[in-house]
Structure 1
Amino acid sequence: MASTTSNHVILFPFMTQGHLNPFLAFAHLLERHTQFTITIVNTPLNVQNLRNALPSDTTIRLMELPFDSSEHGLPPNSENNETLPGHLYSTFFHATLTLEATFERQLIDICRRDGHPPLCIISDMFFGWTVSIAKRLGILHAVFLTGGAYSMAGYLSLWLHLQRQKDSNEFGLVGYPETFRLHHSQLDGLIHLAHADEPYFLSLKQQISLSLGSESILCNTVEEMETTGLELLPKLFGLPVWPVGPLVPSLIEPSTSRKFSRTGKEPTVSSDQCVAWLNLHPPSSVLYIDFGYQNHISTLQMMELAMGLESSGKAFIWVLNPPMEHEESVELRPEWLPKGFEDRMKERKQGLLIYKCAPQLEILSHKSTGAFLSHCVWNLVLESLSLVVPIIGWPLQIEQFFNSTVLVELGVCLEMVIGVEENAVSREVERVVGLVMGGTKKGEEMKRKAIAISEMLKAAVRDDGGEKGSSVSAIGAFFRWINQRKMLE
């Protein structure tokens, strides 16, 4: 199709909250700083949630792709993988591949209606099939990486060049220095089980590979924060990279962040209850603990974490999910925690235990919250640091280890050493919590550096009439590059 001037940008996130959130924040950033027509594409229930979260005066458009989860062997109304148990993730991923034909038909309709194709498609890395659609319709394409540059470079390199190492516990990554080594314990379960003939592995690897056939990469990071990662990405994959983060809804559009933080997951305790409990404690004295929905520690580690928290004497809010040996739907069981633990914590006002889901933003933004014990998933890291809350790192899956490495180097994270001796976890928890929150020189230094990083993150998305922030400038440079490419067609 012949292309003429267009200002229509299509955004297509994967259907999980860790991807929908940064895409939505990016749409708000584009709406604020450009004159583009912006359309977010997704399935009906996700579109409904997006619509409910958007301000009434928004210009952001939404486009539905029909999707019936029951037709794919999924529970009814399953359009977001955070609502699914782990054993259905592969089924869900394969179901998303069926969106290709409908997406292409709707794009053709847009081309006919407008008389020309959209300016570009910005799609998730798990929707590699959108690259070939873009090429067929004469639309430029960018792949959007919702994680940090360093972790995404490692994650993509690992998937594209994965070879099962049988004789060594440690191995390197293609494109990384010879001194860089990964241990098998740092890989998530999916990669551990990856076989050349496993359908889920093949499909995932294929989509990641196809996505890197794009013309460019947008990454949810900040230039000043991730110089090494931003050097690795173009070196490894031969594509220009634009750092357009931090795509944190609470920084860019606070009203949206409270309405659209976790689709399908309502907090099991009210914000008022959490705030009232936090108000009982001095500034920066409470540790927040949350490993999310899809990351689980073992039963023994949960028991040890509880003992370490109690021994530390520090106040905490802990969001509990079932340990890795149990399904996500299992109710909280007393045997997962030390006998009488919850009653003692309640009586002493030392700990607030919340099962399944908490009002995270309200907790992290409260003045009494002093540190975040986290698995180091990127979106939560950015949100925590934007609110000047240092990190205690307990990474559980591959990209989280990369993120933790970056944070430790920035001086805003202290990673716990969790090795094969699970019964030593309690001592490590007590040690690290004491270092970060015990009024030590290390804890004070982490707080100072968190303040500096918070200012850096805020400055990156600033455009108040003066000098533009680095991410706002990157967005401008990306679209100038897009328009130059269009002129050459």
Structure 2
Amino acid sequence: MEGQNDSQFAVVMVPLPAQGHLNQLLHLSHLVISYGIPVHYAGSAMHNHQAKVRVQGWSTESLTRIQFHDFQLPPYTSPPPKPNLSVPFPSHLQPLFDILTHLRKPVSELLEQLSAKCRRITVVHDSMMASVVQDVKFIPEAESFRFISIPAFTQFLGFWRHIPESDKPFRIDPSITIPRRIFPEEETLTPEVTRFVFEQMKFWGIESGRIYNTSRVIEGPYIELLEKLSGKDTETTHFVLGPFNPVAMTGNLKRHRCLEWLDEHDKGSVIYVSFGTTTSLTGEQIGELATGLEKSGQNFIWVLRNADKGDAADSAKDGNPKLQEGYEERVKDRGMVVREWAPQLDILAHRSIGGFMSHCGWSSCNESISMGVPIAAWPMHSDQPMNAVLITEVLKIGVMVRDWEDRGKLVSSATIESVIKKLMTTEEGEEIRKRASEFGDDVRKSVAKGGATSTEMDAFIAHITR
């Protein structure tokens, strides 16, 4: 819905400077400006640049309508990622997380400047940036909304496991799937990041509401559980506005070379392999994956890059992982290895893609679900293990590559080959692909005019411009 530009209002986005988080709030920024409301995207200069050059699915004109505020962070050193950790959390980003408090002052000054000319300011901040926006409570014209960057399923279970059985405020309907095991923070995060998370939680509670990058057609029961858990006496409003990413790609004038390669293959015949921006695999694991892809006999596109450093522009300087000599020549008719940044949304939207081997970061899950693509789940850290359970056990639109209990073990080429064949060639895989396609249809209907998500987005805009 296109609205009238009203300078009485402003929305300020404050993302965590990690790619999946930057990307989600930049997508939401585009949705908000489509209503004619000014959007200010506040972050460090390097991470704002990273977000802009990697965003997909929106026009250049749309991007120019967002006002970016490029703040400076103190110098810091981001060491190379260590791929040999049993839980390969991006601990190399910890030096960046440790200096984020320096954004508090410039963000506060921006809010003060906007308060002088706007009747209402809406601050949408990542849950992990709560300390940066803590001064919003001193600005009468401003209210904040905490952005939840993970699934409602994962968020609810994370809270639920910390409540003693005798203190649980309600019973969960037996029809709602609750997994046999909920993975604790000490299994999925480093101690340093766990402390960072709990430090941010001290500043939760001043927000007027929460925003979720998910859809009620995907996670309706778990959204309702979160709403119930927040209590009827609270004024907290829950807005379920996802997926934020475009659900149909209109095509770019300059297409990546991998899309031309995909054009040459049959519908649903290619598996896409990518583990996001925060994980590097060991050389031994890369070798097993290469062999598994080759032996599966399936067409594939494999994005093989090192994890981003704190400054993503520095990541490629260390060189990308190596493959066995002659491998790419051997598989060139049915396999393509991409070592640069790849247009994931365009890839997932391509008719040739029939599956996605993924780390199960929530951005990637959302993009895959909205394009109707099933997932071979290979979680690495953080929310990803629980996200993988959502995909494979609850929604049943994927298969597990490796159980989380086996996270410290090498995944063999035989396992990788078996999983790919199961997803791409078996009757069970066909059922999974069918369900994924149906979920994609439902999500696309929900964001269309009159759909559940579109209606909720209208309600959010009405709320912040009241």
SS at match of 1:362: helix
SS of 1:414's equivalent in the other structure is strand
Q: 1:143 aligns with which of 146, 150, 160?
A: 146
**Aligned with residue 299 of structure 2, among 294, 315, 326:** 315
Q: Displacement, 1:360?
A: 2.4
Corresponding residue of 1:153: 156
1:64 lines up with 2:57 in the alignment = no
- In structure 2, distance between residues paired with 1:432 and 1:213: 45
Residues 217-261 of structure 1: CA distance to partner in whole angstroms, max 9, x if unpaired? Answer: 10000011102321333344554322100111454x868xx79xx
Say which SS state the counterpart of residue 203 (structure 2) adopts: helix
Q: Which amino acid aligns with 1:205?
A: F
- Structure 2 residue aligned with 1:44: 45
**Which among 397, 416, 419 is matched to residue 412 of structure 1?**
397
Sort the Cα spacing of 1:186 and 1:387 in 2 relative to 1 into closer, same or farther, 3 A: farther
Note the C-alpha offset of 1:43.
3.0
1:430 pairs, out of 417, 426, 440, with 417
> Which one of the candidate residues 324, 331, 335 is aligned to 1:351?
335
1:472 maps to which residue? 454
Contact preservation (8 Å) 1:65, 1:99: no
One-letter amino acid matched to 1:22: Q
Structure 1 window deviating more from structure 2 (125-134 vs 42-51): it is 42-51
1-side partners of 2:52 and 2:361: how far apart? 26
Structure-to-structure mapping, 1:150-299, within 5 angstroms: 150-154=153-157, 180-182=180-182, 187-190=187-190, 194=191, 201-238=194-231, 239-249=236-246, 251=248, 271-299=255-283
Measure, in 1, the Cα distance between the counterparts of 2:352 and 2:151.
Answer: 28
Maintained 8 Å contact 1:285/1:315: yes
SS of alignment partner, residue 267 of structure 2: coil
Report the Cα distance in structure 2 between the residues aligned to 1:392 and 1:384, rounded to whole angstroms: 11
SS of residue paired to 1:284: coil
- Equivalent position to 2:107, from 103, 108, 129: 103
Match of 1:392, SS state, is: strand
Deviations 1:320-345 (Å, cap 9, x if unpaired)? 23599xx97543455xx556433322
Does the CA contact (< 8 Å) of 1:7 and 1:35 recur in 2? no
Shift of residue 57, structure 1, vs aligned partner? 6.4
Q: Secondary structure at the match of 1:411?
A: coil
**Distance in 1 between the 2:132 and 2:410 partners?**
47
Change (3 A) 1:60 1:212: farther
TM-score after normalising by structure 1: 0.75
Look up the SS of the partner of 1:398 in the other structure: coil
Which residue identity does 1:417 align to in structure 2? Answer: R
Report if aligned partners of 1:39, 1:60 keep a CA contact under 8 Å in 2: no
Name the SS for the 2:356 alignment partner. Answer: strand
What amino acid maps onto 2:427 in structure 1?
K
Q: Give distance in 2, aligned partners of 1:51 and 1:225.
A: 28
- CA change 1:203–1:307 in 2 (3 A) is closer
Separation (CA, whole Å) in 1 of partners of 2:383 and 2:208 = 24
| Aligned-residue offset at 1:413 | 0.9
In 1, Cα distance between equivalents of 2:149 and 2:372: 21
Q: Whole-Å Cα distance in 2 between the matches of residues 50 and 328 of structure 1?
A: 17
> Does the Cα contact within 8 Å between 1:74 and 1:91 map onto a contact in 2?
yes
What is the CA distance between 1:389 and its match in structure 2?
1.8
- Equivalent residue runs for 1:113-124 within 5 Å: 113-114=117-118, 116=119, 118-124=120-126
TM-superposed CA distance for 1:51, in Å, is 6.9
Q: Which amino acid aligns with 1:228?
A: P
> SS of 1:129's equivalent?
coil
Cα distance in 1 for residues equivalent to 2:101 and 2:12:
18
Residue 428 of structure 2, aligned match among 402, 419, 442:
442
**Which residue is 2:86 aligned to?**
none
The one-letter amino acid of 1:135's match is K
The verdict on how the C-alpha distance between 1:454 and 1:63 changes in structure 2, with shifts beyond 3 A counting, is: same
SS in 1 for 2:281: coil
CA contact 2:44–2:70 (8 Å) conserved in 1: yes
Q: Deviations over 1:375-402 (max 9, x none)?
A: 1111112222222221111111131122
- Per the alignment, in what secondary structure is the counterpart of residue 244 of structure 2? coil
Alignment RMSD: 3.7
In 2, are the aligned partners of 1:342 and 1:353 still within 8 Å (CA)?
yes
- State the 1:279 CA deviation: 3.3
8 Å Cα contact 2:296/2:420 also seen in 1: yes
Q: Kindly tell me: are residues 297 and 228 of structure 1, through their superposed partners in 2, closer, same or farther at Cα, counting changes over 3 Å?
A: farther
Gaps of 5+ in 2: 1-6, 80-88, 173-177, 309-314
Q: Secondary structure at the match of 1:182?
A: coil
> Which one-letter code corresponds to 1:36 in the other structure?
I
Distance in 1 (CA, whole Å) between partners of 2:17 and 2:331 is 37
2:312 corresponding residue in structure 1: none
Q: Deviations 1:340-382 (Å, cap 9, x if unpaired)? A: 4333223xx1321222532323322222221111111111122
Name the count of aligned residue pairs: 426
**Residue 444 of structure 1, CA deviation:** 1.9
SS in 1 for 2:376: strand
Report the counterpart of residue 31 of structure 1 in structure 2.
33
**SS at 1:39's partner residue?**
strand
The one-letter code sitting in structure 2 at the alignment partner of 1:204 is: V
Q: Give, as a single letter, the amino acid of the residue that structure 1 aligns with 2:374.
A: P
Deviates more, 1:176-185 or 1:441-450: 176-185
User: Cα deviation per residue 1:396-439 (whole Å; 9 max; x = unaligned)?
Assistant: 1131122222222222111123536946622222222112111x
Counterpart residue identity of residue 427, structure 1: A
